[in-house]
Homo-oligomer: A and B are copies of this chain.
Amino acid sequence: MSLQLRNRIYRELHSLVLIDPHTHINPLAPASATLADILGYHYYTELAHSAGMPKSEIEEEGLDPKEKVRRLIENLGPIQNTVQYSWLVEMAQAFFGFEGEHITPNNWETLYDAALEKMSGDDWASQVLSQSNLEAVFLTNDFDDPLEGFDTSVYIPCLRTDDLVFRLAEQSVRDRLTTATGVEVCDVATLRRAVETLFTHFTQKNVRACAISLPPDFTPARVSDGRAHMAIEAFGLQGVNYSESHHRALAQFVFWTLAENCQQHGLPFDLMIGVNRSVYAAGVYQGQDLYDSRISLIQYRELFNAFPEVTFPISVLASVTNQELASYAWIFPNVVTNGHWWYSNTPTFIEHDAAARLEAVPSTKQIGYYSDMYKLEFALPKFNMYKRILAKILAEKYVIDRNWGEERAVELGRRVLRRNVDDIFMSGS
């Protein structure tokens, strides 16, 4: 029977110890301190706001964590249908012994206190990692992160580069770059030296990937040194008001320089493609970004051809781009499919997108999932969601439709959930 089959496969996948290849964890405060850290996740604040809760009630300055939780719980009724709400209930059940189906104005306080007690334990983060079968998580580090004070074999550095590519004309960003590298950027040579310095620093700290998120209209291209020099001069003179043409040339130049450094240092370059920032500028914190789904990976053609030795794990924001992603990973040796990002991280899209990848992309070139979490507690419900869907696909489309043995199907699941993370990110030295 199909449901029992799904459950058997799920249990096998569930026993795996995992590495989470993309999160926003702060390694100095990886787990939640109160339930407010969990309910403050933008999925809850933005959905509560979307359903009518004023931003001012959520983001009131100096708001006490417990009061914040109370207010949010009172506004979660309209989002109980969402998969994000199901993550919340699953965390409450798995970590804090919650037994209800809903967290309500009537029962939230008991839960809050139970969570507080657990979270106050000295080794709460370790407990969460252990209970979640997590061995390590990738971070998202600003280029000027000192990367000190934590175990980089558990909290694995990843160099995030959005600021370098898109905000280098801002004085504050250049100041941070100078502080981090000792290099003042005034021309192409100093820019190259500064970037190289960052890569060297990160490499010494066990960095395992370079990463960036990109707007829909970005097209990587090789830019000549002369053109880049003009752009650097222009922002020196004009600051952030320099022309769109200079802005684009500089972004392309820095991006290309990053790819060159990835090649030199043997680092995968995670591309997260398709987000428009601040579309709803009056939205809550981190709840303002949306997208234009009219993008194509053809925009990355020059890049993929120019860097055959760099692996590009790629996430796309919209499910309509997933077929292109599967096709490009099927053809280009250096293109790898990477997880289910943000607005595509809901069951209907995951099911459709993962199924399409599994049947057409080499199994070794698919990173099944990452949590994208800000606090450790979220890995458990998010990975469980993915594993349930993966088990469903393996049961229905492989064991039933294609007559595979169960163990063969489970092995494919193990590969996309764990082995490929090892092979793609961890195998260098």
Contact = CB atoms under 8 A, between A and B. Distances in A.
A149 to B, nearest CB: 35
Interface string A62-84: 00000000000000001111111
A95 to B, nearest CB: 18
Interface residues of A, number: 77
B359 A347 contact: yes
Contact of A331 (B46, B101, B328, B408): B46
Closest 9 CB pairs of A and B: A51-B362, A292-B298, A78-B364, A78-B362, A292-B296, A81-B363, A348-B356, A348-B355, A327-B343
Contact of A78 (B289, B344, B360, B363): B363
B402 A86 contact: yes
Given A46-B330, A50-B329, A359-B82, A293 B320 contact: yes
Interface of A: 3, 46-47, 49-52, 78-84, 86, 101, 276, 279-283, 287-294, 296-298, 301, 304-305, 308, 318-321, 323-324, 326-333, 343-344, 346-349, 352, 355-356, 358-365, 388, 392, 397, 400-402, 405, 408, 412
Given A81-B359, A280-B305, A323-B349, A50 B344 contact: no
Chain B CB count within 10 A is highest, among A47, A291, A327, for A327
B365 A51 contact: yes
Nearest to A320: B320
A298 B280 contact: no
A134 to B, nearest CB: 23
Contact of A323 (B46, B301, B320, B356): B320
A276 B300 CA distance: 13
Contacts of A296: 292-294
Main secondary structure of the interface of A (DSSP, over half): helix
A360 B346 contact: yes
A359 B83 contact: yes
Contacts of A328: 290
A348 B359 contact: yes
A282 B294 contact: no
Contacts of A3: 400
Contacts of A365: 50-51, 78
Given A349-B356, A363-B81, A333 B279 contact: no
A356 B362 contact: no
10 contacts: A47-B362, A80-B363, A81-B363, A84-B360, A280-B332, A281-B305, A283-B331, A346-B360, A347-B359, A392-B401
Contact of A293 (B281, B324, B400): B324
Contacts of A80: 363
Contacts of A281: 305
Contacts of A361: 50, 82
Contacts of A397: 347-348
Contact of A82 (B84, B288, B343, B360): B360
Contacts of A400: 3
Contact of A280 (B304, B356, B405): B304
A47 B86 contact: no
A293 B328 CA distance: 12
Nearest to A318: B323
A299 to B, nearest CB: 9
Contacts of A305: 280-282
Contact of A50 (B52, B291, B332): B332
Given A282-B305, A401-B388, A412-B81, A288 B320 contact: no
A328 B291 CA distance: 9
B290 A298 contact: yes
A178 to B, nearest CB: 36
A50 B331 contact: yes
